[in-house]
Every structure is written in C-alpha cells, then in structure tokens.
Amino acid sequence: MSDIDFLPQLLDGAEVDWKPLGEVLNRTKGTKITAGQMRELHKEGGPVKIFAGGKTVAFVNFNDIPEKDIQTVPSIIVKSRGIIEFEYYENPFTHKNEMWAYNAKDRALNIKYVYHFLKLNEPHFHGIGSKMQMPQIAIPDTDGFSIPIPCPNNPKRSLEIQAEIVRILDAFTELTAELSTELSARKKQYNYYRDQLLSFGEGVPFLSLAQCCESIADGDHQAPQKTEDGIPFITISNVSATNQIDFSNTKFVSNSYYDGLDSKRKARTNDILYTVVGSFGIPVHIDCEKKFAFQRHIAILRPNPAVVLSKYMYHALRSSAVEKQAHKVAAGAAQKTITLSALNRMLIAVPSLEEQARIVAILDKFDVLTNSIAEGLPREIELRKKQYKHYRDLLLSFPKPEEVEA
C-alpha cells in the first residue's frame, strides 16, 4: 500500500461525517489554584497531576483538590494561553481554571484519535490566538471546531479505523519518547564524564578567566537602532540551552554600527560567548567567521592561545564546577546578573596544552552524540518526528465538505 493510497484504502469507501467538538465530546472544567499553591501542594510521586500553562505541572494527593475538579478518564487538555497546545493524559488530573479539557461522550469515539487530529491542527488555533496581545483562545474556538468521524453509521467499523490511525501514530511517538529517554541518559553520562575529565589533583593550577583571556567584554550598553537587514543582532533569547546561536529570528543593525564597534566586541573564530543576565551561564563556542553584534546581556571571551585552548575553555565553562561558581556570583533579585568583574574572577583548572587537547578530543565526540542534529540520537529523534508528521498528515487528511472549511 503506497503512502498516497493509505487513507482511501483504510476508509474503503466509507462515509466521513464532520462534527463540532462541542457536540461529540464532554468539556470539563479545572480547579481554582495559583502557581504558588501548586508549588506548596506539590508532592513528588503524587497521584493527581495539575496542569498549568506551558510545561508547568504539579503532583498532589487526591484530598488536596476538590473531588469534583479531578478527572479520571483519558482526556485532552486545552492549553489556551501563551503557548497554545493540546496534551493527552490518561491518569487522574486537573488543571488551572482558565484551561479546559475534553473526554469522549461514548465509546463511538477514540479520544486519542481526536487528540492526534487536534495536534495536526494546532497551527489553526495558533492563528486564532495570535490576534490577541497575549496569545489565547476561547471555549467557542474549540467547541465549534469540526473533526472527521469515519464511517459514522457503523460504530464498530468507525472505531476500527480510528484505532488503526492511533496505532500507527502512537508507534512513532513512542519510539521518539524512547529515543528521548536514551538521549537524556546519555547527556547525564556525558555530564558525569566531562566533570571527571575536568577534575584534577594537585599540581594543576586554577587560573581566573582574566588570566586565561586576551580580553573579556560584553555587548553595547546602548541599544542600537534596528534595521530591516544588515548585520544580525543577537539577544539572549537567540542563545539556546544546547549552546548554539539561533540566527533564524534575529533583528538587524547597520553595517556602520558594526564597523564602529571595538574589536573586542566583534566575535571571531574561537571566541566564546557567555550569557550573563537572566538565563546566565550558557557558553557558545564560535567556530566560524560570521559577522554579528550582540546585546549587553552576553559577554564575549577571547582566550589566550598560549594559556588555554578555546574549546577547552568552552567545555570547562559548561562543567558543574563553573556552573556552581556562576550561581554563587550571580547577583540581583528580578534578573540574576554576573557582572564582568565577577566573570573575570571565575576560576577554571588549566592543565598543559597537550592535556587540554586530549580532553577536548574526548568531549567533542560525546558532544556530537548528544547534541549534533546531523549525527547521533538527536538526528534519529528529528527523523522520527518528521516521520510522525508525515504519516499524521496522510492519515488525517480526510476530504472536507465546503460547509466545514475553516
């Protein structure tokens, strides 16, 4: 069976009926609870999960929440504000009362099938939410959204079709989850070996970053005027937790602004960026000659090659020992900040250049396996996600009558 023919052959000529969610599903309410109360009530291993916006959750006991607010059947949680998305959950749960959830009214509809269809159509709801200053959707947006019900006059056959679609799509998501779990374990293993390799006995000196660098600076303290194109301007939001710069959504500054910057503020190959405000402590190794400017929330270190290898310093800055130093020196209430003077005083162990090179060679190999999107597990995970989306599109592209077009 070819990809193109899969859905028609699965339907085998069966009729497809389109029904609004509000007509075929039960909509349930959440519970009145604040983020502070969620933190206070949270118990590791608690049997009831509380959902809030984004990835915020808490686990609590049954008697912590009014019984009427707890759902115990497989459901789809609608995250309606900020990051608009749908989440499927089978165990006891509740959620903040600005959200809502759906479960099946009867056995003629597989709720997991509906979930996959809603995930396919998340961009539709993102479009609705984007019209608001704070992205959000309302109950009528989901209640009135129509879903395809195959073979509506034959519930048994309808459920068989729904179940087969769910089986195929779940196989991809389960494989992705297994790979993600393995990747997480490998990252822990990598962090452990990195810390071991960067732990030294007596005889290896500890030097301040000022002693290891030709210069340490930060970005311009005066926000430059932005332009339609030109030189990319990096903010802290462009620095990822995987130690990369995301150039896909940057603003720009003029060439004349860039040309007027001090040379120590112009990144060159083997320099290291280091975030110092908010999400502080993330290093990025510069491995190419690309012109860009950056804000003052980012520092730039230029290692002295006679003292330390650039890549060695990068790995050292990612170590647990340096991370602890960063948290110790970061000051401020609203936004924690590592000042340049504090950054200059932070210490790293500096063995011989030969030993540094040996350590870098080992850690770079681990880095590829745990972070490279071109190789290793991240590549496998990305491929599985693409496969899931490909087959989801094929399996859920039901013919839609004009009267239910979005």
By percentage, how much of the chain surpasses pLDDT 70?
91
Asked whether the predicted pLDDT for residue 234 surpasses 70, the reply is yes
pLDDT bucket at 4, cuts 50 / 70 / 90: very low
Give the number of other Cβ atoms within 10 Å of residue 366's Cβ.
19
Q: Which alpha helices (DSSP H) does 267-375 contain, by range? A: 310-317, 320-329, 340-345, 353-371
What is the dihedral sign for C-alpha 288, 347, 358, 213?
positive
Angle, helices 155-197 vs 376-395, to 10°: value is: 170
Q: Rank 72-76, 236-240, 368-372 by mean pLDDT and report only the highest.
A: 72-76
- What pLDDT does residue 53 have? 82
Higher pLDDT, 35 or 325: 325
- What pLDDT does residue 104 have? 94
Average pLDDT, the chain: 88
Which tokens is 135 given? 């992205």
- Which amino acid, one-letter code, is at 383? L
Rounded CA-CA distance 47/28 in Å is 19
Model pLDDT for residues 190-223, shown as the tens digit of each residue: 888 888 889 888 889 999 999 999 999 999 888 8
Cβ–Cβ < 8 Å for 300, 344: no
- What pLDDT does residue 403 have? 54
Rounded CA-CA distance 15/154 in Å is 10
Give the number of other Cβ atoms within 10 Å of residue 345's Cβ.
14
Please give the span between the terminal C-alpha atoms of the chain, in angstroms, as a whole number: 30
Those residues with Cβ within 8 angstroms of residue 8's Cβ, 6 or more apart along the chain or in another chain:
none
Residues paired with residue 26 on neighbouring β-strands, in sequence order: 103
Model pLDDT for residues 265-277, shown as the tens digit of each residue: 999 999 999 999 9
pLDDT bucket at 2, cuts 50 / 70 / 90: very low
Asked whether the predicted pLDDT for residue 123 surpasses 80, the reply is yes
Rounded CA-CA distance 178/184 in Å is 10
Rg (CA), the chain: 26
Coil, strand or helix at 278: coil
Provide the total of helices (H) and of strands (E) in the chain, helices listed first.
Answer: 14, 18
Q: Are strands 75-79 and 347-349 parallel, antiparallel or unpaired?
A: unpaired
- What pLDDT does residue 401 have? 62
Task: List, edge to edge, every strand of the sheet that includes 251-253.
Answer: 251-253, 231-234, 293-294
Asked whether the predicted pLDDT for residue 404 surpasses 70, the reply is no
Least Cα distance to 347 among 370, 363, 323 occurs for 323
Q: Report yes or no on whether pTM surpasses 0.75.
A: no
pLDDT bucket at 162, cuts 50 / 70 / 90: confident
Rounded CA-CA distance 19/353 in Å is 68
Look-up of token digits 């009831």 = 48
Model pLDDT for residues 321-371, shown as the tens digit of each residue: 999 999 999 998 778 899 999 999 999 999 999 999 999 999 998 887 776
What is the dihedral sign for C-alpha 343, 344, 350, 356?
positive
Q: Are strands 213-218 and 272-275 parallel, antiparallel or unpaired?
A: unpaired
Give the domains, in start order, of the chain with CATH numbers.
6-155+399-404 (3.90.220.20), 205-350 (3.90.220.20)
Q: Rank 4-8, 123-127, 304-308, 333-337 by mean pLDDT and report only the highest.
A: 304-308
Model pLDDT for residues 60-74, shown as the tens digit of each residue: 999 999 999 999 999
Higher pLDDT, 166 or 368: 166
**Within a 13 Å sphere around the CA of 18, how many CA atoms are in the beta-carbon half?**
16
Least Cα distance to 363 among 183, 192, 179 occurs for 192
E strand or H helix at 8: helix 6-11
Asked whether the predicted pLDDT for residue 95 surpasses 60, the reply is yes
Asked whether the predicted pLDDT for residue 12 surpasses 70, the reply is no
CA distances from residue 119 to 2, 112, 130, 158, 277 in whole angstroms, order as listed? 24, 11, 17, 20, 35
- What pLDDT does residue 171 have? 83
pLDDT bucket at 185, cuts 50 / 70 / 90: confident
By percentage, how much of the chain surpasses pLDDT 90?
56
CA distances from residue 75 to 79, 231, 340, 370 in whole angstroms, order as listed? 13, 47, 50, 34
Cβ–Cβ < 8 Å for 174, 275: no
